[in-house]
Amino acid sequence: MKKIKDFSLYFVASEEYSEGKNAKEVAEQAISGGIDILQMREKNKTRGELEKLGRTLLSLCKERDITFIVNDDAYLARDIGACGVHLGQEDIKGYADGEVRGIIGDDGIIGISTHSFNQFENANKKDFDYIAFGPIFSTPTKDYSIGVGDIEKVSEISTKPVIFIGGINLSNVDAILDKGARNIAAIRAIAAAQDIKGAARNLKTKIKARG
């Protein structure tokens, strides 16, 4: 089973934030730059389009031993053979207790988004393989941010890997790493960069230096 390892760079791939570039092109460059995890987050595609793209991205990830995660849909993750699924607070309400594990299996990875310390504490007690915590900084994907105040506490008490997310880029990532963060997620900092490979490489270098 693939596990989320500490000092990982988690890239959320979304054509919405890729400045007109297609998902495969962005993924190829980000993988070349050294990302460890790739999440497919596409909100405006049909099920058929998601299956096709998901299989393409999964193939790219397998070639380089990258963990491939599908956003929102546990059934899609299972059907295309992804490593796991990432669920939001609203997404998880659509599944009965234990249902997601039953869908993707004991070897599958389940991630959950949390947006407050209380949500994090709740997730920390449940059957998730990693917890995303954020948005730390302002970002177009959310209309709020939670700041850096809880990073040290979350990092200390978590029983599983924590992925810090939300507006993180090369200019502010050190502020998070300085507080004990081990895993960082990026969307626009990589997807919207002119040099995607270089943007991923620069972020990964900073994270790796703390390992």
Q: Within a domain: residue 1? A: no
The string of pLDDT tens digits covering residues 73-111 is 999 999 999 999 999 999 999 999 899 999 999 999 999
Q: Would you state the pLDDT for residue 125?
A: 96
Q: Within a domain: residue 185? A: yes
Report pTM: 0.96
Domain that holds residue 128: 9-208
* Overall number of domains in the chain: 1
To which H or E segment does residue 113 belong?
strand 109-114
> Which residues does the chain have with pLDDT short of 50?
none
3-state secondary structure of 186: strand
**Contact present, 130 and 161 (Cβ < 8 Å):** yes
